[in-house]
């Protein structure tokens, strides 16, 4: 190994990302803008949840949405059609959003300080998005009933870092492959501080309870000294 210089790329990338994320969180805090990172597998209903949440929050809040996708404008078009500000990030193959990319998207939003919430729809993936902070003030993980209740055992990091776990498509219940009670026990054993909500975006079930939690979280965050504290 003499004469060979080893450079740990992953560690350097991780450190740079964490620094950028922390700076972004401070910037948003100074603007009073609360950013929520929404993560899940493909098809679990991230866009539907964001739209239903934005509608439930109502006209009292100004909301922007950053859409992450490998190669599509489909979700951002849905957001814009619903009347909300949309910014599309097209990664061209990357399986997650990072802090620098999200920062560029934020910088593209005119008069960013006038917004109350920014929702970021991360790439559909339960691995990489859990490893990269983006400057969010809340990490929200979405799991749909058709995926099964064993995802928590297969992808523990995602459940460990989430502030809120939303179980979507509960209108599929009862389902032999999904037990809300089993999921709750596993989730609380792994991450007892995580809030859990049962919703159906299609039928509007549980959205109001989730909305109320978001409002409380934002109020608490606004009064806290630490931009990550909710």
Which pLDDT tens digit goes with each residue over 110-152? 999 999 999 999 999 999 999 999 999 999 999 999 999 999 9
pLDDT of residue 94: 73
Q: Is the pLDDT of residue 5 over 70?
A: no
- For residue 212, pLDDT over 50 is answered with yes
Closest CA to 67 of 99, 91, 93: 91
Q: Report the DSSP beta bridge partners of residue 120.
A: 37, 66
SS3 content of the chain, % helix, strand, coil (to 5): 45, 20, 35
Q: Looking at the domain assignment, is residue 1 inside a domain?
A: no
Residue 141 lies in a domain: yes
Sheet holding 85-90, edge to edge: 85-90, 63-69, 117-121, 34-40, 138-144, 164-168, 195-198
DSSP 200: B
> Which CATH number characterizes residue 98's domain?
3.40.50.300
pLDDT at 7 over 60: no
* pLDDT score, position 225: 66
**Strand, helix or coil for residue 19:** helix
| pLDDT at residue 12, rounded to an integer | 53
Quote the number of domains for the chain: 1
Which ranges in the chain belong to alpha helices (H)?
Answer: 9-31, 46-57, 74-81, 99-107, 151-154, 156-161, 180-190, 207-223
| Four-residue CA torsion sign, 189, 205, 38, 153 | positive
Strands 34-40 and 63-69: unpaired
Q: Tell whether 12 is covered by a domain.
A: no
In a domain, 72, yes or no: yes
Residue 181 falls inside a structural domain: yes
Asked if residue 230 belongs to a domain, the reply is no
Domain-embedded: residue 4: no
Which of 64, 129, 63, 121 lies closest to 94, judged by CA?
129
d(CA 162, CA 150): 16
Full residue range of the structural domain in which residue 209 is found: 17-222
* pLDDT at 1 exceeding the cut of 90: no
Considering the domain boundaries, does residue 6 fall inside one? Answer: no
């Amino acid at each position: 190994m003499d004469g060979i210089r080893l450079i740990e790329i992953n560690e350097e990338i991780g450190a740079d990302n964490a620094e950028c994320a922390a700076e972004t969180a401070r910037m948003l805090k100074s603007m009073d803008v609360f950013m929520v990172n929404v993560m899940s597998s493909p098809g679990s209903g991230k866009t539907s949840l964001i739209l239903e949440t934005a509608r439930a929050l109502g006209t009292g809040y100004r909301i922007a949405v950053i859409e992450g996708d490998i190669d599509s404008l489909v979700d951002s078009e849905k957001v814009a059609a619903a009347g909300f500000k949309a910014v599309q990030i097209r990664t061209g193959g990357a399986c997650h959003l990072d802090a620098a990319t999200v920062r560029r998207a934020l910088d593209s939003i005119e008069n960013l300080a006038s917004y109350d919430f920014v929702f970021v729809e991360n790439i559909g993936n339960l691995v990489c998005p859990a490893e990269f902070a983006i400057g969010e003030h809340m990490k929200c993980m979405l799991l749909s009933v058709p995926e099964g209740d064993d995802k928590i055992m297969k992808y523990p990091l995602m459940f460990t870092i989430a502030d809120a776990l939303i179980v979507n498509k509960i209108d599929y219940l009862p389902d032999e492959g999904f037990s809300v009670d089993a999921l709750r026990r596993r989730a609380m054993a792994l991450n007892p501080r995580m809030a859990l909500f049962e919703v159906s975006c299609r039928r509007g079930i549980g959205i109001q309870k989730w909305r109320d939690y978001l409002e409380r979280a934002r109020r608490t965050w606004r009064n806290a000294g630490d931009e990550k504290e909710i």
